[in-house]
Amino acid sequence: MKYLVFIFSVIFSVSVFGQSATNSSSNPFVVVLDAGHGGKDPGSLKHGFVEKEIALKVALEVGRIFEKHKDIKVIQTRTTDVFVPLSQRAHIANDAKADLFVSIHLNAVSNVRPQGTETYVLGVHNNKKNLDIAMKENSVIYLEEDYEETYNGFDPSDPASYIGMTLMQEEYLDQSIVLADNIQKEYTAQLKRVDRGVKKAGLLVLRETYMPSVLTEIGFISNKAEAQYLGSKKGQKEIASSIVKGIVKYKEALNRHATEVDSNNFTDVINASSDDILFRVQIGMGSTPLETASYNFKGLKGVERQKEGEFYKYYYGKSSDYIDIQSLNQEAKKQGFPEAFIVAFKNGKKISTETALKSKAN
């Protein structure tokens, strides 16, 4: 499946990488690798293979490859077959002040035919399949003591629990999608794996982290041929190499943008409002500029294109009033952009909507 031009061909911008770009050459770039499941949580078991075992082998192989990169420090959430609560995995990354968090899992469904890779960022699921993935991955908290208290009453089996869970990762969404996109491209371009794309889902392990974070499903253990590939040393080394290349490309782009000054800093957008805080609805992004005529955007009128670096983002509407922008966001979703979301800018720089709302309240 090809990447959707509107959602997953994501840009790099100075504002997006403002936090991570502060890393200097004297400070290593920290990557936390999270081998999914472990101990009393085996994950999926299919065709004689166990998810927790393959995930750990791939994570350890990624770590071994990174030993050659002296400017990158790897921290593993587990190096043996032990059970690690989801919240603790995130705490490991947060305590390390990591630059990236990458959780490694395998897919499994009742149908033996599906195959391929897909990589998730935290977001609102737009279909039942994504919700099912989130419920499956989050159900591990039932094995934890006092999980209701730890996760503030979150119930993995209740769709209502997923409402509003994306705020903590909102400011890292663009970076997370870029990382996910890089990893997916390595899987498909280098290994010719079936491309199932970059997706959004309400995954607890991503919600708790304070840095760009992804969960990558490296293949279907329920597909016999793919399970055999993933269970082999060859498959594990190839998948690990793709993950490494995706991370390295992300870091290289980060380094480039840390030394560049983007002259196009949304000044024209900000000048459209007398308020220093402006809300917009982001409906897509891509590397090729599209005419903003309504026929390119499912009939949606008034779309504006903004160039950031080498890429383009597409926005629908702008307002200093959050209630107004919520209405426009719902309109965009109904028009055919289910993953549209609200972004905020202050003096030309992107900030989280939570920060924007607090600022306007003061």
How many CB atoms within 10 Å of residue 145? 7
Residue 360: pLDDT band with limits 50, 70, 90: low
Class of domain 20-257: alpha beta
Q: What is the pLDDT of residue 17?
A: 39
Model confidence pLDDT, tens digit, residues 38-97: 999 999 999 999 999 999 999 999 999 999 998 999 999 999 999 999 989 999 999 999
Q: What is the pLDDT of residue 288?
A: 77
Residue 310: pLDDT band with limits 50, 70, 90: low
How many CB atoms within 10 Å of residue 275? 12
CA distances from 5 to 1, 285, 296, 351 (A): 12, 6, 11, 24
Nearest partner of 7 among 283, 331, 308, 316, judged by Cα? 283
Residue 208: pLDDT band with limits 50, 70, 90: confident
The Cα–Cα gap between 273 and 149 comes to 44
Nearest partner of 159 among 143, 179, 135, 142, judged by Cα? 135
Residue 313: pLDDT band with limits 50, 70, 90: confident
Strands (E), the chain: 29-35, 45-46, 49-50, 72-76, 100-107, 117-122, 195-201, 213-220, 277-286, 303-308, 311-319, 341-346, 349-351
Q: Region 300-304: what's the mean pLDDT? A: 89
- Both tokens of 91, joined, read 């705490």
Q: Region 228-235: what's the mean pLDDT? A: 97
In this structure, which amino acid lies at residue 235? G
CA triple 198-339-199, angle to 5 deg: 15
For residue 238, pLDDT beyond 80: yes
Q: What is the pLDDT of residue 39?
A: 96
**Residues 253-256: contacts with CB under 8 Å, at least 24 apart:** 253/12, 253/178, 254/12, 254/17, 254/20, 254/21
Q: What is the pLDDT of residue 148?
A: 83
- Which single residue is written with the structure tokens 């903590």? 168
Q: What is the pLDDT of residue 225?
A: 97
- Greater model confidence, 270 or 329: 329
Model confidence pLDDT, tens digit, residues 151-206: 878 887 887 776 656 555 566 777 888 899 899 999 998 899 999 988 888 888 88
Q: What is the pLDDT of residue 168?
A: 53
Alpha-carbon dihedral sign for residues 39, 44, 50, 52: negative
CB distance 103 to 207 below 8 Å: no
How many CB atoms within 10 Å of residue 301? 10
Domain boundaries defined on the chain? 20-257, 267-361
Buried b (16+ CB within 10 A) or exposed e, 57-82: bbbbbbbebbeebeebbbbbbbeeee
- Both tokens of 279, joined, read 């809300």
- Greater model confidence, 124 or 130: 130
Compute the mean pLDDT over every residue in the chain, rounded to the nearest whole number. 82
Residue 26: pLDDT band with limits 50, 70, 90: low
Distance of CA 100 to the CA centre of its chain: 10
Q: What is the pLDDT of residue 257?
A: 56
CA triple 232-235-238, angle to 5 deg: 150
CB distance 337 to 298 below 8 Å: yes
The Cα–Cα gap between 257 and 173 comes to 17
Sequence-distant (6+) residues with CB within 8 A of 4 are 197, 284
The Cα–Cα gap between 221 and 228 comes to 8
CATH fold, domain 267-361, is: Alpha-Beta Plaits (3.30.70)
The Cα–Cα gap between 171 and 352 comes to 5
Q: What is the 3-state secondary structure (H, E, C) of 66-120?
A: HCCCCCEEEEECCCCCCCCCHHHHHHHHHHCCCCEEEEEEEECCCCCCCCCEEEE
- Both tokens of 105, joined, read 């899992």
For residue 268, pLDDT beyond 50: no
In this structure, which amino acid lies at residue 57? K
Q: Which residues, listed in sequence order, are joined to residue 279 by a DSSP beta bridge?
A: 319, 344
Task: Provide the percentage of residues in the chain whose pLDDT is more than 70.
Answer: 82
Cα dihedral 224/1/243/308 (nearest 10): -170
Which residue stretches of 139-232 are H helix?
147-150, 173-191, 204-207, 224-230
